[in-house]
Amino acid sequence: MGLKHSQYDAIMRDYEQKQLKSRNELNEHFAQVYAKSPQFKSLDESISRLAVQHGKKLLNGDSNAVSALKEELADLRERKEMLLTAAGFPADYLESVYTCPDCKDTGYIGNQKCHCFKKAIIELLYTQSNLKEVLKKENFDTFSFDYYSQNHIDPKSKRSSLDIIKSAYSTCQEFVKSFGAEFHNLFLYGDTGVGKTFLSNCIAKELIDRTYSVIYFSAPELFNTFAKSTFEKNVDAAAMNEYIYDCDLLIIDDLGTELTNSFVTSQFFACINERLLSKRSTIISTNLSLESLVDLYTERTFSRITSNYTMLRITGDDIRIKKKLMNREVH
């Protein structure tokens, strides 16, 4: 799931296309202004001649060349602004327009990847993993309460599975609404097949549509990535580590299905702790009970989760089995 050279090249080609589009639009704007105001074009040519003239003076040892050039350029630019607005164009009509003004559509700020580059990486990985196809089917618009019963009573809370899922659904929607303004994490646990992954996908779809960077991992995939980065020094896995820690939302699905050992428990703690410190949200789903969570991942990890995550216990019948039975009845 790491970024390969071909993937990097594909992203950079997209940036090149954005830069080309920006240049073409700017050239078109200049052509329109020149056609409507020949005097504006004359001033532009005067600025070019001035720069050459004063450059020669500077090379010949004239120490006043720079200050003189600045004064004359300021006067010419002021006249250009007046001509531009007088011709009916906005004052910023001849300024480049970028998709990302922070990096000016280069993908980098200095030698660091821009936030838009990181988002482009995650979107590419999502597309190539086919998860976007899953999100078209599993989202808030397709979520149904029909699979939850008012008669299925949870012995611990004494609430029905329908009441529980409605409450969880509302919490997930609030999570989306406040995302970016407030820092929250979710821990979804309970019976198998009751919609925990579906709810995570609902949130992922909404946030991706709002241009947030979201990464989904099943627990075995996540810890396998950590292992490849640590023990095999795998370059792709090491690159993916950066996205795991930096993405706006990390979703860890099916915690407990991985082979748990000391390496896994330490990496799990490091991951959730680092994301807590940097205030980057995480959603974890599991079929484990809270008691099992303590046994597998230590008291320290359990404390981090229960203290910093909204705990959503979901109960009910296995929806996948219900769907199969309903399909048989139809046929």
Residues near 270 by beta carbon (within 8 Å), at least 6 away in sequence: none
Query: Over the chain, what is the mean pLDDT?
Result: 87
Q: What pLDDT was estimated at residue 1?
A: 40
Q: What pLDDT was estimated at residue 130?
A: 63
Single pTM value for the model: 0.70
pLDDT band at 10 (very low <50, low <70, confident <90, very high): confident
Instruction: Quote the CA–CA distance of 45 and 42 in Å, as a whole number.
Output: 5
Please check whether residue 98 is in contact with residue 26, taking contact to mean a CB–CB distance below 8 angstroms: no
Q: Max Cα separation, the chain?
A: 94
Nearest in space to 203 (alpha carbons), one of 310, 290, 289: 310
Q: Is pLDDT of 52 > 80?
A: no
Edge-to-edge strand list for the sheet holding 310-314: 214-218, 249-255, 281-286, 186-190, 310-314
Instruction: Quote the CA–CA distance of 222 and 228 in Å, as a whole number.
Output: 10
Q: Which amino acid is residue 23, in one-letter code?
A: R
Q: Is pLDDT of 200 > 60?
A: yes
Angle at 241 between CA 131 and CA 14, to 5 degrees: 60
In terms of C-beta density within 10 A (0-12 exposed, 13-18 middle, 19 or more buried), how is residue 302 classed?
middle
Query: 262-277 and 235-246 helices cross at what angle (nearest 10)?
Result: 40
Instruction: Quote the CA–CA distance of 59 and 268 in Å, as a whole number.
Output: 63
Please check whether residue 211 is in contact with residue 178, taking contact to mean a CB–CB distance below 8 angstroms: no
Q: What is the mean pLDDT of residues 64-90?
A: 79
pLDDT digits (tens, 9 = 90+) for 251-261: 999 999 999 89
